[in-house]
Amino acid sequence: MATQPKELPRDALKRLWKRTGLSGIEVAKRAGYAAPSGFYALMQDRQGSRPIAHEAIKRLIPVFRGLGEPPVTVDELLAISDAASPGPVATQSLSTAVTAAADTVAFGKETIGGVLLPIRYRCERGTYVDTKAPARNYGSSRIAVSTEYPMMAQCAAIVSDQHAAAMFKQSTHLHVVQRSAFNTAEMGGRTVILGTSTRGDLVEVIVARVQRVDDGGELRFVSAAGDDVTGTVLGVVVGAYVTL
């Protein structure tokens, strides 16, 4: 029996749109497009086989969600997204998406219901923490514990300023896993929580990305803005709770 060709993201988006019963003009209006052509462009042939841009999906989630029969879900929309906002995070981690509130979307692994991760890091330029001090607790995150990693290897971080705006909005909660859960070969392209400073045990905690892994296994980092940075990996980001 011949296998059916895989549905292209642009075709899936058109199918989901038709399921909502909304006109293209109404979708464009509710999603904040200046003209319907901005929405229609996501489904044109020139889109090819590429996933739909994450920024576009973020606009469409509150418009499509819950409409149609069966109701359109956040999972369906995220499944055709390139999750460009979190970069490699969502691509590597998206398996189950949970809408916890009307204005939020959670990206993450399969979770243990009801057990929320503590926030251990605040990612913020100009704020320094002592690496030798006991682990801090900034309260509970909006992210549940994942079944894919040891519970004690997980925590959360919060982006407290605009330094990572190219990747995450301020106040985004990040799902963080200990570096030891990943071998060096897996680290290329990963988003990380980096402790970077020239002040000894005092480090500035920021969001960064592993630009490459050298032949000797050394990690090279760039900041969210694309600048070269050095530091110690405090944790690897595997998901994000993103405010829309």
Residue 93 is predicted with a pLDDT of 32
pLDDT band at 92 (very low <50, low <70, confident <90, very high): very low
| CA nearest to 81, candidates 66, 101, 64, 103 | 64
111-243 under CATH 2.10.109, yes or no: yes
Q: Domain 9-82 - what CATH class?
A: mainly alpha
Cβ-based neighbours of 7, under 8 Å, separated by 6 or more: 15
Helix (H, G, I), strand (E, B) or coil at 3: coil
- 8 A C-beta contact, residue 164 and residue 123: yes
Q: Quote the CA–CA distance of 240 and 231 in Å, as a whole number.
A: 22
Domain positions in the chain are 9-82, 111-243
**The pLDDT of residue 13:** 95
Average pLDDT for residues 164-168, to the nearest whole number?
A: 88
Give the model's confidence band at 55: pLDDT under 50 very low, under 70 low, under 90 confident, else very high: confident
Nearest to 118 by CA among 149, 150, 152: 152
pLDDT-derived band at 163, boundaries 50, 70, 90: very high
For residue 97, the surrounding DSSP H or E stretch is none
Question: Alpha-carbon distance 72 to 65, whole Å?
Answer: 5
Distance, in Å, from the CA atom of 181 to the CA atom of 155, rounded to the nearest integer, reads 13
Give the residue-averaged pLDDT of 156-163: 94
- For residues 56-64, give the mean pLDDT: 85
Q: Are 175 and 146 a contacting pair, CB within 8 Å?
A: yes
DSSP 87: T
pLDDT of residue 97: 31
Calpha distance 242→244 (Å, rounded):
6
Beta carbons within 10 angstroms of residue 92's beta carbon: 19
